[in-house]
């Protein structure tokens, strides 16, 4: 019997979390797992490639339109590529309210319907601001395994390090079971980038679980409104996501991170950027 895994991908905005999450979910589904992906970003684009380009209605939009009492399960959960169940939390109207509230409302509604189920739940979470709402997957025990998506760029590592601080703080609470499961390098093709991110992962008491090279195939697949795993399943890039999926399902190396201070982070980046 497979015990349900609840994983969350956190990282700086624009680092490629949604692309990584969608391809990871697609790869997991092809490996025979029942997958639920929940987009926890107001941009609501986490599941778009799994839905062949469609922006599905968000929970927050539906709540604003009709109130949560009148919403049904099939209005918020959509079936995408190879059976991946897709949900988008959404957020408030621009300039009004807290975006994290959409995550809270979404989880409460999915719990009410008993829909937080399957072999794997993938939470795709904005990581620039780890406020109470965005930290909810970690804080309330939904996401038990946290993966940091980063590149070798300083601000990407800075965001990843901040998320380590949140995990460490939350790990000290009795209710929280979240741990750092690893670092994913979504490459920007920088010199010595894999070495840099590997060393960063070591310093924060974790490991680099997957290095994903920058590849034009990602853009080509997205133009065709598909994940790489669906559009080019035999490509080297799809193989990277398949390897990541296999790692996620077998990974038991969960740690409390040891975030580093900003001076050490800048020194690390400088060391690997020198030629």
Quote the CA–CA distance of 183 and 246 in Å, as a whole number: 15
φ/ψ (deg, to 5) at 222: -70, -35
Domain ranges of the chain: 5-273
Which one of the listed residues 128, 165, 168, 188 is annotated catalytic?
A: 128
**Is 165 labeled as catalytic in the residue annotation?**
no
Q: Is the pLDDT of residue 66 over 90?
A: no
Residue 214 sits at φ, ψ, to 5 deg, of -75, 130
Residue 105's pLDDT band, with cuts at 50, 70 and 90, is confident
43 is catalytic: yes
pLDDT given for residue 57 in this prediction? 94
pLDDT at 223: 98
Tokens coding 136:
């909810």
- Predicted TM-score (pTM) of this structure: 0.94
Q: What percent of the chain has pLDDT over 90?
A: 73
Position 54 confidence tier, pLDDT thresholds 50, 70, 90? very high
**pLDDT band per the 50, 70, 90 thresholds, residue 141:** confident
Computed over every residue of the chain, the mean pLDDT equals: 91
Nearest-5° Cα angle at 139, 133 to 142: 95
Active-site residue among 5, 12, 124, 215?
12
- Class for the domain spanning 5-273: alpha beta
Has residue 29 got a pLDDT over 90? yes
262, 275 in Cβ contact below 8 A? no
Asked if residue 60 has pLDDT above 60, the reply is yes
């Amino acid at each position: 019997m497979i015990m349900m895994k609840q994983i969350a991908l956190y990282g700086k905005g624009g680092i490629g979390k949604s692309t990584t999450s969608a391809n990871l979910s697609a790869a997991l589904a092809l490996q025979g797992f029942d997958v639920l992906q929940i987009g926890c970003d107001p941009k609501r684009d986490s599941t778009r490639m799994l839905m062949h380009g469609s922006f599905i209605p968000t929970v927050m939009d539906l709540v604003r339109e009709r109130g949560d009492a009148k919403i049904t399960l099939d209005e918020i959960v959509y079936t995408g590529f190879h059976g991946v169940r897709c949900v988008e939390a959404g957020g408030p109207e621009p300039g009004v309210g807290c975006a994290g509230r959409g995550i809270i409302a979404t989880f409460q509604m999915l719990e009410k319907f008993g829909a937080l189920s399957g072999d794997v739940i993938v939470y795709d979470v904005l990581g620039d601001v780890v406020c109470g709402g965005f930290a909810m997957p970690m804080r309330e025990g939904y996401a038990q395994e946290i993966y940091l998506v980063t590149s070798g760029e300083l601000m990407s590592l800075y965001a990843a390090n901040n998320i380590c601080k949140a995990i460490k703080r939350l790990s000290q609470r009795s209710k929280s079971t979240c741990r750092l499961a690893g670092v994913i390098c979504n490459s920007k093709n920088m010199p010595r980038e894999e070495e840099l991110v590997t060393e960063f992962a070591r310093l924060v008491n974790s490991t680099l679980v997957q290095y994903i090279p920058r590849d034009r195939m990602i853009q080509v697949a997205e133009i065709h409104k598909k994940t790489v795993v669906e559009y080019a399943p035999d490509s080297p890039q799809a193989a990277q996501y398949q390897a990541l999926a296999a790692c996620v399902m077998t990974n038991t190396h969960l740690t409390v991170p040891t975030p580093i201070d900003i001076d050490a982070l800048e020194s690390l980046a400088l060391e690997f950027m020198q030629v």
